[in-house]
Amino acid sequence: MNIRILRRSKEGIVNKVVYISKSHIERREGPLRIADLPGESMPVIFSVHGAIAEHYKIDPAKLTESHSSTIDYVISATAG
Protein backbone atom coordinates (compact mmCIF):
# COMPACT_ATOMS: atom_id res chain seq x y z
CA MET A 1 0.00 0.00 0.00
CA ASN A 2 1.39 3.38 -0.99
CA ILE A 3 -0.07 6.53 0.51
CA ARG A 4 1.02 9.91 -0.80
CA ILE A 5 0.97 13.16 1.11
CA LEU A 6 0.65 16.13 -1.21
CA ARG A 7 1.45 19.78 -0.66
CA ARG A 8 -0.88 22.39 -2.14
CA SER A 9 -0.10 25.95 -3.03
CA LYS A 10 -2.24 28.86 -1.81
CA GLU A 11 -4.22 28.53 -5.02
CA GLY A 12 -5.07 24.90 -4.15
CA ILE A 13 -2.85 23.41 -6.84
CA VAL A 14 -0.87 20.31 -5.94
CA ASN A 15 2.71 21.33 -6.50
CA LYS A 16 4.75 18.61 -4.84
CA VAL A 17 4.56 15.08 -3.39
CA VAL A 18 6.25 15.41 0.00
CA TYR A 19 6.03 11.82 1.26
CA ILE A 20 5.07 8.36 0.02
CA SER A 21 4.35 5.81 2.74
CA LYS A 22 5.25 2.30 1.64
CA SER A 23 3.83 -0.38 3.89
CA HIS A 24 2.86 -4.02 3.57
CA ILE A 25 0.29 -5.93 5.62
CA GLU A 26 -0.20 -9.68 5.64
CA ARG A 27 -3.24 -11.40 7.09
CA ARG A 28 -2.24 -14.58 8.89
CA GLU A 29 -4.96 -16.46 10.76
CA GLY A 30 -8.27 -15.01 11.93
CA PRO A 31 -7.72 -11.42 13.08
CA LEU A 32 -3.90 -11.72 13.20
CA ARG A 33 -2.11 -9.35 10.78
CA ILE A 34 1.57 -8.53 10.44
CA ALA A 35 2.55 -5.12 9.06
CA ASP A 36 5.87 -3.83 7.80
CA LEU A 37 5.71 -0.09 8.41
CA PRO A 38 8.13 2.72 7.59
CA GLY A 39 10.16 3.79 10.60
CA GLU A 40 9.77 0.47 12.42
CA SER A 41 12.68 -1.96 12.58
CA MET A 42 10.42 -4.87 13.52
CA PRO A 43 7.06 -5.91 12.06
CA VAL A 44 3.98 -4.56 13.86
CA ILE A 45 1.46 -7.15 14.98
CA PHE A 46 -2.27 -6.35 14.90
CA SER A 47 -5.03 -8.55 16.25
CA VAL A 48 -7.89 -8.16 18.72
CA HIS A 49 -8.31 -8.21 22.47
CA GLY A 50 -10.98 -8.05 25.15
CA ALA A 51 -14.10 -6.15 24.15
CA ILE A 52 -13.09 -6.02 20.49
CA ALA A 53 -12.80 -9.83 20.36
CA GLU A 54 -16.18 -10.09 22.06
CA HIS A 55 -17.73 -7.64 19.59
CA TYR A 56 -16.58 -9.76 16.65
CA LYS A 57 -17.65 -12.93 18.52
CA ILE A 58 -14.13 -14.33 18.56
CA ASP A 59 -13.64 -17.00 21.19
CA PRO A 60 -10.84 -15.73 23.48
CA ALA A 61 -9.67 -19.33 23.89
CA LYS A 62 -8.89 -19.42 20.14
CA LEU A 63 -6.68 -16.34 20.32
CA THR A 64 -3.11 -17.51 20.64
CA GLU A 65 -1.98 -13.97 21.47
CA SER A 66 -3.75 -10.76 22.35
CA HIS A 67 -2.53 -7.67 20.49
CA SER A 68 -3.67 -4.12 19.87
CA SER A 69 -6.17 -3.74 17.08
CA THR A 70 -5.87 -1.38 14.14
CA ILE A 71 -8.46 0.90 15.77
CA ASP A 72 -6.17 1.20 18.83
CA TYR A 73 -3.42 2.51 16.55
CA VAL A 74 -5.76 4.91 14.74
CA ILE A 75 -7.06 6.33 18.03
CA SER A 76 -3.55 6.66 19.44
CA ALA A 77 -2.32 8.42 16.31
CA THR A 78 -5.28 10.78 16.28
CA ALA A 79 -5.00 11.62 19.97
CA GLY A 80 -1.22 12.01 19.86
Report the C-alpha gap between 37 and 6 in whole angstroms: 20
Overall domain count for the chain:
1
pLDDT band with cut points at 50, 70 and 90 for residue 2: low
Q: What is the pLDDT of residues 18-30, one digit of tens each?
A: 788 889 999 988 8
- Does residue 6 lie within any of the structural domains? no
Q: What is the pLDDT of residues 55-75, one digit of tens each?
A: 888 887 778 788 999 889 889
Within a 13 Å sphere around the CA of 37, how many CA atoms are in the beta-carbon half? Answer: 11
Domain encompassing residue 73: 23-79
Q: What is the pLDDT of residues 30-40, one digit of tens each?
A: 888 999 999 99
What's residue 15's pLDDT?
66
- Does residue 59 lie within any of the structural domains? yes
- Does residue 3 lie within any of the structural domains? no
- Does residue 16 lie within any of the structural domains? no
- Does residue 18 lie within any of the structural domains? no
- Does residue 36 lie within any of the structural domains? yes
- Does residue 1 lie within any of the structural domains? no
pTM metric for this prediction = 0.67
